[in-house]
Amino acid sequence: MTRDDVISETYLAEQVRLHAAPKGYGGRGDKWRFAVISLATQFAAETILDYGCGQGTLGVAVRALSGRTVVDYDPARPGLDALPAPADLVVCTDVLEHIEPDRLDAVLAHLRELTQIALFAVVATRPASKFLSDGRNAHLFIKDAAWWTRTITSHGFRSVAPVPRSPLKKPSREVVLVLQ
C-alpha cells in the first residue's frame, strides 16, 4: 500500500489546508478516549493506531489517562504521514466519510491490513459543518449506518458487540462499530 493508494495529491493538499485552518478539523478525537482505553483492555491490545488522527487529541488523552502508547497517523499532518505499521487496535473515528470515493476501497483494505485484533470505527452519517474549497461538503460520503456496516464488513471485517456508547448529543448522526 502506498500513500497514493489512499489519497490523491490534490485532495491531500486540501486536507492539509483544512487541518491547518484556525478551528481546523480533527480536533475532537479525545471524546472517544474512554472507549478506546476500554477496548484496548477488552482486546488486550498492546499497540494502538489512530488512523486519520487529525490534531492527535485522542492519542494525547489516551496516553495521559492510561499510559498506553498510541501511534498517530494522518497523511495530511507532516511528521505523522509515514504509512503506519499494523497494530492490535486500530482506531478510525470521523475519517471514512472524508475519503475520496475512488479511494474508499483502498483505505478499507489498508485498515484490514493494519488491524491485528480489532478495528474501532466511527463514521458520521450527516453533513459536516466544514466545506472543501470547491464548495463540496467535507463529508464526501453521507450514508446511513446500514450502508457503512455493509461496506466495511465487505472488506473482511465482522461486527463485534457491544459497541461503546456515543458521546454525541445526537448519536443517531453517526455509526459506531467494533470489528474484527
pLDDT tens track, the chain, 180 positions: 899 999 999 999 999 999 887 676 788 889 999 999 999 999 999 999 999 999 999 999 999 999 999 999 999 999 999 999 999 999 999 999 999 999 999 999 999 999 999 999 999 999 998 899 999 999 999 999 999 999 999 999 998 867 888 777 666 788 999 999
Looking up residue 51, the CATH number of its domain turns out to be 3.40.50.150
In the block, cell 487529525 appears at: 54
| pTM listed for this prediction | 0.95
d(CA 121, CA 118): 10
Number of structural domains found in the chain = 1
**DSSP per residue, 50-89:** EET-TT-HHHHHHHHHH---EEEE-TTSTTS-SPPPPEEE
Domain that holds residue 89: 3-179
Considering only CA atoms, which of 67, 72, 40 is closest in space to residue 178? Answer: 40
